[in-house]
Amino acid sequence: MRSKHENALPLIVTHGWPGSIIEQLKIIEPLTNPTAHGGSAADAFDLVIPSLPGYGFSGKPTTTGWEPARIARAWVVLMQRLGYSRFVAQGGDWGNAVTEQMALLTPPGLLGIHTNMPATVPADIAKALKFGDPPPSGLSADEKKAWDQLDFFYKHGLGYAQEMANRPQTLYGIADSPIGLAAWILDHDASSYALIARVFDGQSEGLTRDDILDNITLYWLTNTAVSSARLYWENKFAFFDPKHVTIPVAVSVFPDEIYAAPRSWTERAYSNLIHYNRVEKGGHFAAWEQPTILTQELRASFKPFRA
């Protein structure tokens, strides 16, 4: 969506699983029409929000090889074909994986990236988590909290990812039952499940019932439950390992994310870190749950790239 304001900064935003383009609907107006949402014309973005291959309204891959690096190359071509010679990129979950791969390509037009789920876990931490070892000594309070979150997720929350990475085609049951699909999507991680469950208990913070049902319905009506799962099988990258991105990176840390990346890890992972902020609330689906906060973070993060 193009902004009505001149000199709007082009921004490509990539969703993850079990999200979709529905995650980003709430940030479209604030980012493209900032003067109606507490900002100035100088905060305007042109937004490009594509569906990942095999998700939503995008085509289902008919050949293998559609992993984050290939999607990143396709996104660069997409921005070029749309006529954007300079742009920025944002993502969380798979969106971060794709966005960081875009950054590693260092295309001339990509000025910088923003992520709400950065890949920052140091090698010694990743090794200890993998083998069930105790945490290394000397961790700060933020590092210990991140360790605890990751330790819980690896022990109790990785089942869906392992199944999709190993046997995605066996998940035809979620393509045959909307209740099965809903259960598979909703039980993503403990914090997200709690944030979603409270909506059905009458609390209005973050998401609504319609938000949640709209996202599940998109998967159901487009029959993309299994085709979306294949991205886990295609992927060969360790999700949280640093990728050594060298272009400018901005990071927003939401407390109920799978893990809240400590500043120390983030500074080591990104040699050109231009923005780091720990926000007060929100989780894995940042744009969906806390669109106002994410909007503010994107405005601040990409301000240095304004013409």
Query: 232 catalytic, yes or no?
Result: yes
Q: Is residue 50's pLDDT more than 80?
A: yes
Place of tokens 């920052």: 120
84, 160, 219, 232: the catalytic one is: 232
Q: What is the pLDDT of residue 291?
A: 97
Q: What is the pLDDT of residue 132?
A: 93
Q: What is the pLDDT of residue 167?
A: 94
Mean pLDDT computed over 247-253: 98
Q: What is the pLDDT of residue 158?
A: 87
Q: Is residue 300's pLDDT more than 80?
A: yes
**Strand pairing of 110-115 and 273-278?**
unpaired
Q: What is the pLDDT of residues 168-184, one digit of tens each?
A: 999 999 999 999 999 99
Query: 52: helix, coil or strand?
Result: coil
Q: What is the pLDDT of residues 186-221, one digit of tens each?
A: 988 888 898 888 888 888 778 999 999 999 999 999
Q: What is the pLDDT of residue 265?
A: 98
43, 93, 211, 256: the catalytic one is: 93
> How far apart (Å, rounded) are the C-alpha atoms in residues 166 and 234?
10
Percentage of residues in the chain with pLDDT exceeding 90?
92
Q: What contacts 63, CB < 8 A, 6 or more positions away?
A: none
Mean pLDDT is lowest, of 35-49, 57-71, 192-206, for 192-206
Indicate the DSSP class of residue 57. Answer: T
**What's the whole-number average pLDDT of the chain?**
96
Q: What is the pLDDT of residues 254-281, one digit of tens each?
A: 999 999 999 999 999 999 999 999 999 9
CA atoms within 13 A on the CB side of 188: 24
Query: 209: helix, coil or strand?
Result: helix
Distance from the Cα of residue 232 to its chain's centroid? 14
Percentage of residues in the chain with pLDDT exceeding 70?
100
Confidence of residue 153 (pLDDT cuts 50, 70, 90): very high
Query: 133 catalytic, yes or no?
Result: no
Helices (H), 34-93: 68-81
Q: What is the pLDDT of residues 81-136, one digit of tens each?
A: 999 999 999 999 999 999 999 999 999 999 999 999 999 999 999 999 999 999 99
Q: What is the pLDDT of residue 45?
A: 98
Query: 93 catalytic, yes or no?
Result: yes
Q: What superfamily does domain 9-120+242-305 belong to in CATH? A: Alpha/Beta hydrolase fold, catalytic domain (3.40.50.1820)
15, 114, 188, 284: the catalytic one is: 284
CB atoms within 10 A of CB 124: 11
Confidence of residue 307 (pLDDT cuts 50, 70, 90): low
Mean pLDDT computed over 31-38: 97
